[in-house]
């Protein structure tokens, strides 16, 4: 991580980032640019350095903040119309920890509204364009953050991953994207999507930067009862020997070039002396169906608070209390938000709960157990992130199921709560599009997983 010091002024670093953001504005990466605050903070850090005072581990480092993190700088809208005008008096724990180390937010990044999507086309502000091909999607839901790092505007960006929202856009744009073990980073102050699978993570250019950010942002938080006791910084290093590959993913539903990339990577690891273990994980076939029951249920519940009464949008049409709810929610949510809320209310409604929600919760148990068994046979698992590289804008946005299939290889990690890192693994021959692979580890193996990621970089 390049931080400000006597030779690199924070103001220059921030100004450079702001200029790049301006230069790439036609990629629709940012929903808000934090110029004034950012330069002010940079100046303060430069003064500290000049006075020879101690500065943080991220002093003067410009970063991009996904639009679903609460902070008083700019409106927090989760790229949704219904949160228009909402400036938070509260700061998310993760944001506070970054700022305490001197990191400087230069802008909020575009996302699928409420993180519902895999292309950032579901944003109220319109889609973000891929870093390598502006006719293609950035991936999602954290599309803006991935592209901001891929184009070198910032050294790192925050993301949230409920079913692949960090790993898939990272792989579509050729950067590192990490979804930690569930409960590693506090969710306090992050707009909730699905509480039992939501994870906070980052986009970086290197595994080393990822490790630094994790050691800063991780840790138990009294404001989030589902945070684990501080384990990340106290992890004993453990070297890996066996790497697993999942047979069930090696079929024509996955793009040939991605499967080639996976083969090359495993061959490289074999040469380095790693044992490659073939895994059969039949329950993963049902992960996506279980995911699209459990997550919409939690989404429908978590989005009940957006009602036009206490904050955010209130429909102009509203005339009485009923219409404040109905019209505000109807106007404020994107079509995909509505689909998920209605599916969620369907699987929870009386008569369907057992057949759908409860059934999915049981399937989830089988998926958790399948990963536990797998990690008795290997230290890490190497899989594709998504079945295909970045697709064309508009190609899937009107076909929800096709869009959901994008997540087929990423959601099982969220259901099991295990960590996954998306790593760059070359480009496609024809279109020169980034290919990503993901390294999956057991719960709480995060620090060692990031160390193993360095092993996977081609010489």
Partner 1 sequence: MEIKREDILHLAELSDFALDEREAESLKDDLAGIIKYISQLDELDTEGVEPTYQVFEMENVWREDEILPQDATREELLDLTKEAKDNQIKVPKVL
Partner 2 sequence: MAEDYSVTGKDGKKYTPTIGIECHVQLRTKTKLFSEVDNDARGKEPNSCVSPVDYALPGMLPRLNGRAIKFAVRAGRAMNCEINPESRFDRKHYFYPDSPKGYQITQFYHPIIGAGYVELSSGRKIRIEHAHMEGDAGKLTHYATYSLVDLNRVDTPLIEIVSMPDIHSAQDAHDYAKELWRLMCYAGVTYGDLYNGNMRFDVNTSVAPEGAEELGTRTEVKNLNSFRSVERAVEYEIKRQIQVLEAGEKVKQETRGWNDATGQTTAQRSKEEAKDYRYMPEPDIPPVHLTEEFIENELKDFPLMPADYREKFRDTIKDDLLEILLDYPTLMKKLGDMDEKHITLMVNLFTSVLLAEEKSAEYLNDLPSAKDLNELAEMNEKKELSSTATKEVFLKLFDPQMKGRGTKNIAKELGLIQENDLGALEQIVDTVLAKPETKKAQEDYRAGEEKVLGFLIGQVMKESHGKANPSAVQQILREKLK
Q: Among all residues, which ones are annotated catalytic? A: 66, 141, 165
Over the Cα atoms of the chain, what is R_g? 21
Name the segment binding partner 1 (CB under 8 A); options: 133-141, 357-365, 379-387, 434-442.
357-365
Using the rule CB under 8 A, is 96 a contact of partner 2? no
DSSP string, 314-342: --TT--SHHHHHHHHHHHHS-HHHHHHHH
Q: Please give the size of the binding site for partner 1, defined by CB under 8 A.
A: 66
- Beta-ladder partners of 421: 178, 439
Ranges within 214-243 binding partner 2 (CB under 8 A): 222-226
Q: Tokens at residue 148, please?
A: 């901001």
Q: Which does 301 bind (CB under 5 to 8 A by kind): partner 1, partner 2, none?
A: partner 2
Q: Which does 26 bind (CB under 5 to 8 A by kind): partner 1, partner 2, none?
A: none
Give kind and range of the element (H or E) at residue 245.
strand 242-246
Name the segment binding partner 2 (CB under 8 A); options: 57-65, 235-243, 331-339, 342-350.
342-350
Ranges within 394-453 binding partner 2 (CB under 8 A): none
**Separation of alpha carbons 393 and 308, rounded Å:** 32
Give kind and range of the element (H or E) at residue 177.
strand 176-179
Q: Which does 276 bind (CB under 5 to 8 A by kind): partner 1, partner 2, none?
A: none
Among 276, 277, 289, 348, binds partner 2 (CB under 8 A): 348
Kindly write out the interface string for residues 307-326 of this chain, putting x where it contacts partner 2 by CB under 8 A and - elsewhere.
Answer: x-xxx---------x---x-
Pick 25 or 349: Cβ nearer partner 1 = 349
Contact (CB, 8 A) for 294 and 411: no
Kindly write out the interface string for residues 11-50 of this chain, putting x where it contacts partner 1 by CB under 8 A and - elsewhere.
Answer: ----------------------------------------
**Separation of alpha carbons 307 and 81, rounded Å:** 12
Q: Given strand 420-427, what is the order of strands in its sheet?
A: 30-33, 104-109, 62-66, 156-161, 199-204, 176-179, 420-427, 434-440, 380-384, 242-246, 275-279
φ, ψ for residue 42, nearest 5 deg: -60, -40
Q: Please give the size of the binding site for partner 2, defined by CB under 8 A.
A: 45
Kindly write out the interface string for residues 258-297 of this chain, putting x where it contacts partner 2 by CB under 8 A and - elsewhere.
Answer: ---------------------------------------x
Find all residues with CB under 8 Å of 76, minimum gap 6, and list them. 67, 68, 69, 70, 83, 86, 87, 88, 108, 191
Pick 230 or 267: Cβ nearer partner 1 = 230
Q: Which does 11 bind (CB under 5 to 8 A by kind): partner 1, partner 2, none?
A: none
Nearest to 213 by CA among 188, 232, 238, 241: 232
Find all residues with CB under 8 Å of 225, minimum gap 6, and list them. none
Residue 84 Cβ, how far from partner 1 at the closest point, in Å?
Answer: 12
Query: How buried is residue 167: exposed, middle or buried, by Cβ count under 10 Å (0-12/13-18/19+)?
Result: buried
**Separation of alpha carbons 118 and 296, rounded Å:** 15
Ranges within 360-419 binding partner 1 (CB under 8 A): 360-366, 368, 400-401, 404, 415-417
**Separation of alpha carbons 412 and 259, rounded Å:** 19
Ranges within 186-215 binding partner 2 (CB under 8 A): 187-192, 194-196
Give kind and range of the element (H or E) at residue 426.
strand 420-427
Residue 71 Cβ, how far from partner 1 at the closest point, in Å?
Answer: 12
Using the rule CB under 8 A, is 345 a contact of partner 2? yes
Name the segment binding partner 1 (CB under 8 A); options: 110-118, 250-258, 288-296, 430-438.
288-296
Residue 185 Cβ, how far from partner 2 at the closest point, in Å?
Answer: 13
Furthest C-alpha separation in the chain: 70
Among 31, 34, 79, 88, binds partner 2 (CB under 8 A): 88
Length of the chain equals 459
Three-state secondary structure call for residue 84: coil
Ranges within 300-339 binding partner 1 (CB under 8 A): 300, 307, 309-312, 314, 318-321, 323-327, 329-330, 333, 335, 338-339
**Separation of alpha carbons 47 and 37, rounded Å:** 15
- Footprint of partner 1 on this chain (CB under 8 A)? 86, 89-91, 182-183, 196-197, 222, 225-226, 228, 283, 286, 288-290, 292-293, 300, 307, 309-312, 314, 318-321, 323-327, 329-330, 333, 335, 338-339, 341-343, 345-347, 349, 356, 358-366, 368, 400-401, 404, 415-417, 443
- Footprint of partner 2 on this chain (CB under 8 A)? 68, 70, 76, 78, 83, 86, 88-90, 92, 187-192, 194-196, 222-226, 297-298, 300-301, 303-307, 309-311, 321, 325, 345, 348-350, 353, 357, 361
């Amino acid at each position: 991580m390049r931080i400000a010091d006597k030779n690199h002024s924070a103001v220059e670093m921030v100004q450079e980032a702001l200029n790049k953001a301006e230069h790439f504005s036609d990629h629709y990466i940012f929903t808000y640019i934090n110029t004034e605050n950012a330069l002010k903070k940079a100046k303060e850090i430069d003064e500290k350095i000049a006075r020879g005072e101690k500065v943080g581990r991220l002093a003067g480092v410009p970063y991009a903040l996904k639009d679903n993190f609460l902070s008083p700088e700019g409106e927090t809208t989760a790229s949704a119309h219904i949160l228009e005008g909402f400036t938070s008096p509260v700061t998310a724990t993760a944001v506070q920890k970054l700022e305490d180390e001197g990191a400087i937010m230069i802008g909020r990044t575009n996302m699928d509204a409420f993180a519902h999507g895999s292309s950032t086309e579901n944003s109220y502000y319109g889609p973000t364009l891929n870093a390598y091909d502006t006719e293609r999607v950035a991936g999602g839901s954290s599309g803006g953050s991935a592209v901001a790092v891929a184009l070198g505007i910032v050294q790192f960006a925050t993301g949230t991953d409920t079913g692949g929202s960090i790993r898939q856009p990272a792989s579509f744009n050729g950067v590192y994207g990490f979804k930690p073990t569930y409960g590693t980073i506090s969710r306090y102050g992050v707009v909730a999507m699905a509480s039992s699978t939501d994870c906070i993570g980052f986009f970086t250019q290197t595994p080393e930067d990822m490790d630094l950010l994790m050691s800063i942002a991780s840790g138990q938080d009294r404001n989030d009862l589902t945070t684990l006791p501080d384990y990340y910084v106290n992890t004993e290093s453990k070297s890996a020997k066996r790497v697993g590959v999942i047979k069930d993913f090696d079929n024509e539903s996955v793009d040939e070039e991605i499967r080639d990339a996976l083969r090359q990577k495993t061959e490289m690891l074999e040469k380095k002396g790693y044992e490659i273990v073939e895994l059969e994980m039949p329950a993963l076939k049902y992960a996506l169906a279980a995911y699209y029951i459990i997550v919409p249920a939690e989404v429908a519940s978590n989005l009940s608070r957006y009602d036009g009464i206490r904050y955010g949008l209130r429909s102009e049409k509203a005339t009485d209390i009923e219409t404040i709810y109905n019209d505000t929610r109807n106007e404020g949510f994107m079509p995909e938000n509505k689909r998920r809320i209605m599916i969620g209310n369907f699987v929870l409604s009386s008569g369907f709960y057992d057949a759908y929600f409860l059934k999915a919760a049981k399937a989830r148990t089988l998926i958790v157990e399948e990963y536990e068994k797998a990690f008795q046979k290997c230290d890490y698992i190497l899989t594709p992130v998504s079945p295909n590289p970045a697709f064309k804008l508009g190609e899937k946005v009107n076909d929800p199921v096709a869009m959901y299939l994008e997540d087929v290889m990423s959601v099982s990690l969220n259901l099991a709560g295990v960590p996954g890192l998306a790593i760059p693994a070359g480009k496609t021959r024809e279109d020169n599009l980034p290919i990503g692979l993901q390294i999956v580890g057991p719960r709480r193996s995060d620090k060692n997983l990031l160390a193993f990621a360095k092993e996977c970089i081609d010489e």
